[in-house]
């Protein structure tokens, strides 16, 4: 039966590979990609090659007003019957800055806006349009463990504090440095896992929420805001690591994501999937008090954004 999957972050890297796998393996999917400006039309046309059904909605994930407009357009298209029933949302887009001082359009820190608030807004605005059984998959990161085994010391671990502080610039030590930006990234991914747990508890039966960790995947564009040396290393040197157990190739990471979206990888709601298998996320990620505090904060933030 024809159905819709909405996907962010499909233009490059893991997301592009996952989109291609989803379309190749599931001809009943209408893939709706969310992308910035005119790039969405180009992306949809490229993915539609071979007779696949792909459309797009423009959005800047760094602006909650833009995300809200995109979600509203998706709702309207579903209500008019222009899209088949909604059965999937893939929040794959992510960003990492070279500092923790970059402010988004709504006054929130930019990493937190893209990696946490944009996904949350899509989930909350679309949740009553899902046709069960449905699945939401949020791409997270094993940097949330904060140990050498999971990220070889390349990214500092999360530094959790009040969500009201995390959502604003300057929340971390040395916020003007790349280390501050990386801490903002790992902390945002921990926040995303808390929200997946919250969705699993709060969303109606038949709508599953899963966190997906692709592992370290060089060459995805995640470091596009880094300095020239780091960008060169990620593009030219780090890809060699995919020949070792310490990194995942782009196509393999995309395939693992597609497996979760399509249900090939069986994962109960609230799961953390490490590449191709359900696993346990960090001990820190199972904290109901933090989860509730974060939920209250992001609900307040999305209401605030709609009133501006």
Which residues are registered as beta bridge partners of 58?
35
CB atoms < 10 A from the CB of 259, how many? 21
Q: Which candidate, 222, 39, 48, places its Cα nearest to that of 139?
A: 222
**pLDDT tens, N- to C-terminus, the chain (308 residues):** 899 999 999 999 999 999 999 999 999 999 999 999 889 999 999 999 989 999 999 999 999 999 999 999 999 999 999 999 999 999 999 999 999 999 999 999 999 999 999 999 999 999 999 999 999 999 999 999 988 878 777 889 999 999 999 999 999 999 999 999 999 999 999 999 999 999 999 999 999 999 999 998 776 555 544 455 444 444 544 454 444 445 688 999 999 999 999 999 999 999 999 999 999 999 999 999 999 999 999 999 988 766 55
Alpha-carbon gap, residue 300 to 159, rounded angstroms: 22
For 14, the 3-state DSSP assignment is: helix
pLDDT for 152 equals 72
Alpha helices in 177-227 (DSSP H): 178-202
- 291 close to 161: Cβ distance less than 8 angstroms: no
- 115 close to 38: Cβ distance less than 8 angstroms: no
Place of tokens 């157990």: 245
pLDDT for 83 equals 98
- 193 close to 144: Cβ distance less than 8 angstroms: yes
pLDDT for 243 equals 41
pLDDT for 241 equals 46
Give the HSE-up count for residue 138: Cα atoms under 13 Å, Cβ half-sphere. Answer: 33
In terms of pTM, does the model score above 0.85?
A: yes
């Amino acid at each position: 039966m024809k159905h819709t999957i909405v996907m962010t972050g499909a233009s490059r890297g893991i997301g592009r590979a996952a989109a291609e796998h989803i379309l190749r393996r599931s001809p009943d999917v209408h893939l709706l990609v969310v992308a910035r400006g005119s790039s969405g039309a180009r992306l949809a046309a490229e993915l539609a090659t071979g007779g696949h059904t792909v459309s797009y909605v423009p959005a800047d994930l760094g602006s909650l007003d833009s995300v809200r407009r995109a979600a509203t357009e998706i709702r309207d298209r579903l209500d008019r019957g222009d899209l088949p029933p909604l059965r999937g949302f893939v929040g794959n887009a992510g960003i990492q800055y070279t500092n923790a001082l970059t402010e988004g359009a709504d006054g929130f820190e930019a990493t937190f806006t893209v990696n946490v608030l944009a996904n949350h807004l899509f989930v909350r605005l679309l949740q009553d349009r899902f046709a069960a059984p449905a699945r939401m998959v949020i791409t997270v990161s094993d940097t949330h463990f904060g140990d050498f085994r999971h990220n070889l010391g390349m990214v500092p671990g999360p530094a959790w504090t009040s969500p009201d502080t995390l959502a604003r610039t300057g929340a971390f030590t040395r916020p003007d440095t790349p280390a501050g930006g990386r801490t903002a990234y790992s902390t945002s991914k921990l926040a995303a896992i808390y929200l997946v747990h919250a969705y699993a508890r709060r969303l109606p039966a038949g709508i599953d929420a899963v966190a997906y960790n692709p592992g370290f995947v060089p060459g995805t564009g995640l470091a596009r805001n880094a300095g020239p040396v780091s960008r060169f290393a990620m593009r030219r040197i780090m890809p060699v690591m995919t020949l070792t157990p310490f990194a995942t190739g782009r196509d393999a990471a995309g395939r693992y994501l597609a497996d979760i979206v399509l249900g090939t990888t069986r994962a109960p709601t609230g799961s953390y999937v490490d590449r191709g298998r359900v696993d346990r996320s960090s001990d820190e990620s199972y904290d109901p008090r933090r989860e509730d505090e974060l939920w209250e904060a992001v609900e307040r933030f999305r209401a605030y954004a709609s009133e501006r």
